[in-house]
Structure 1
């Protein structure tokens, strides 16, 4: 190899690895998803919860967490503190989250802070058969939720993260904006405010009704599959944390969604699953379970919903007020009554008005 060729090879290798080094250093310093420190010279973005939640869980101070899917995104941290008496709340919602993702997020929070209270939105759809363990889920950056600093190279040597680093620098640090972001984190109410109409609800319902696949849905929500994820993913975290207060609630989907469940052959599985969950959790003195799904004033008022499952921030606030007064609290005396009422409400509901 002649000297000239060696020079160009050396130059290319130097530029290549030098560029990678600059990329790693730049992503580490900016750290757009706060994996190593709180944001101190930019106002952070919140459009990628699976990345951001890991950083929030590791680097912020809190004593209470909100965990769940998009069903909890319209809760406000300050409202939770006010009505439930929690000292400092962090929102760690995962839009479209599976139970695997939610429990990994909760475990990360517990491992990094002295968590005393967990408000948990128990969403049936997080337990679906299609929910994959985080190590098999390409959407979920599991490596950010562990303590292994070496696999963080995936984060640091990442051009998508680089793009977010540059975008972060365009948002100068503003403590008030950050405080408000933490309070309303992931809330979508303002973005979809115009969707809370009866006409929009009917369109959403009709789409689900005419496109439903009864055979597929009954498989996705087969009882044994729901039970398996509860027993092997959810319950172990409960068992390890008997010193923490769990406030678990069933989010109030609209009556139209329960009707879709019934027509898709998995509503009975769901009711059976709810009874199973209660029987498994009733022995834990640190757990309270609230069921808002039979609250007819909410679930039958279709203007509360932007679609058949997602309710407004007003309903979220109502939920907190009910929890603060221990309304809709499930116990051994009323569990069967609650399940029977939801069953009756659903099977009596006439969908012709929606079609």
Structure 2
């Protein structure tokens, strides 16, 4: 009976029995097995090798990883060496003139670098050939040094440091450079709406790392344009140039043509009517609220005044429609904040020696007529642009503590009661029938 039980047990586990025998049999007996046809064939296994063959050696995991990462490490090392070498060249040449050594490059006389000037602030501010600086925004980018010399006189050697969208912190960094200039005689500064912002706000494109006190971030200047300029300087070219006056004029003209369109005026008129009842709302702010004015602008102006530098602060001419169009992206109480900020500026520096503040937007013929603008915040009319800058010599439009209340009331009233006006489109509409009449007459 015992043998029968064992036989039954073997039959029950037979599917597994052969496997167990296969696993537990000696390795010398596993060199081949029979297939279903009775033929033998070798077992392909890493544990068996033909006679006389060397068994393969399995590589360690760390060795495999090293072989795979070695090219990347070598490439990264090479890139690092190249970058540090180029950084050493850039810092030694100092193409931005931010250190006390270097080649001291210059901006070409008569050049108007506009937005590119953000990289060249020290190049201009440390150049003893300049004694007058226009520190503005896109509303003053069109003024060339020759034009300014014609307005200010032959002794004015002007560098235009205007660039689009200045913000409080980068404007403060620029003025700090001018305060340190020993040869400066005259600064023309625009008081933009951005002074109602937080003092730490910086233009996103402005390379603040070039002009702050943190030397550890200076390596950020090692880019392709700076590297190229460093090698240009090594080749003997010490001048920066940006001959884009024709391109810029084309851009401005096209901007005006696009703005002076009935559909654009209709859109603005709708905004004016939609927000008229709320445009004069109070912001609840006072002079203590404007830290960019109190902590940055006023100290810089005082420092220049104490040295006898003439400082003309120009409030850009914005249209009355500006307060309606820009209230959504700047502030819903933009009008109130602008008026308070102006008042605080006049009270803080208006009585300082050599300091004057100018504004012209209390004249409806200027700020109320959109024919004068290429955008609600940018004047286009050449006569108004000239009047704006010649105020520094004529004294017209000067704001004082005494006349500011009248100025503020005039602007608030004009904006709150504004009805869209565009004499350019009015003239175009009026002259169109006469032109058609002449055309029909000549055809007949």
Normalising by structure 2, report the TM-score. Answer: 0.62
* Bigger RCO of structures 1 and 2 (CA < 8 A, at least 6 apart): 1
Counterpart residue number, 2:224: 162
Residue 208 of structure 2 is aligned to residue 142 of structure 1: yes
- Structure 2: distance between partners of 1:195 and 1:13: 47
- Structure 2: distance between partners of 1:29 and 1:44: 27
Structure 1 position 327, deviation (Å): 0.9
- Structure 1: distance between partners of 2:107 and 2:415: 51
Residue 360 of structure 2 is aligned to residue 295 of structure 1: no
- Structure 2: distance between partners of 1:44 and 1:322: 21
- Structure 2: distance between partners of 1:119 and 1:45: 17
Counterpart residue number, 2:434: none
Residue 138 of structure 2 is aligned to residue 73 of structure 1: no
Cα pair 2:94 2:230 within 8 Å, conserved: no
2:176 to 74, 86, 107: 107
Counterpart residue number, 1:324: 393
Q: 1:179 to 1:273 in 2, by over 3 A?
A: closer
Structure 1 position 116, deviation (Å): 1.2
Structure 1 position 51, deviation (Å): 2.4
Structure 1 position 53, deviation (Å): 2.7
1:93 to 157, 162, 168: 162
1:307 to 371, 375, 384: 375
Q: Deviations over 1:229-271 (max 9, x none)?
A: 2111111112222221110111110121145578933323322
Q: Find the structure with the greater CA-based Rg.
A: 2
Structure 1 position 299, deviation (Å): 1.6
* Secondary structure of 2:241's aligned partner: helix
Counterpart residue number, 1:239: 302
- Structure 2: distance between partners of 1:283 and 1:352: 36
- Structure 2: distance between partners of 1:163 and 1:39: 16
Q: 1:127 to 1:165 in 2, by over 3 A?
A: same
- Structure 2: distance between partners of 1:48 and 1:21: 26
- Structure 1: distance between partners of 2:112 and 2:231: 9
Counterpart residue number, 1:194: 254
Q: 1:253 to 1:26 in 2, by over 3 A?
A: same
Cα pair 1:116 1:245 within 8 Å, conserved: yes
- Structure 1: distance between partners of 2:421 and 2:147: 38
2:352 to 278, 284, 287: 284
2:416 to 344, 347, 350: 347
1:249 to 314, 321, 342: 314
- Structure 2: distance between partners of 1:49 and 1:80: 17
Structure 2 gaps of 5+ residues are 1-61, 426-444
* Secondary structure of 2:395's aligned partner: coil
Q: 1:208 to 1:38 in 2, by over 3 A?
A: farther
Paired residues for 1:204-243 under 5 Å: 205=268, 222-223=285-286, 227-242=290-305, 243=308
- Structure 2: distance between partners of 1:52 and 1:96: 17
Structure 1 gaps of 5+ residues are none
- Structure 1: distance between partners of 2:327 and 2:83: 54
- Structure 1: distance between partners of 2:418 and 2:150: 36
Cα pair 1:201 1:302 within 8 Å, conserved: no
Normalising by structure 1, report the TM-score. Answer: 0.75
- Structure 2: distance between partners of 1:270 and 1:88: 32
- Structure 2: distance between partners of 1:151 and 1:346: 45
Counterpart residue number, 2:22: none
Cα pair 1:100 1:133 within 8 Å, conserved: yes
* Secondary structure of 2:374's aligned partner: coil
Aligned residues between the structures = 341
Counterpart residue number, 1:19: 82
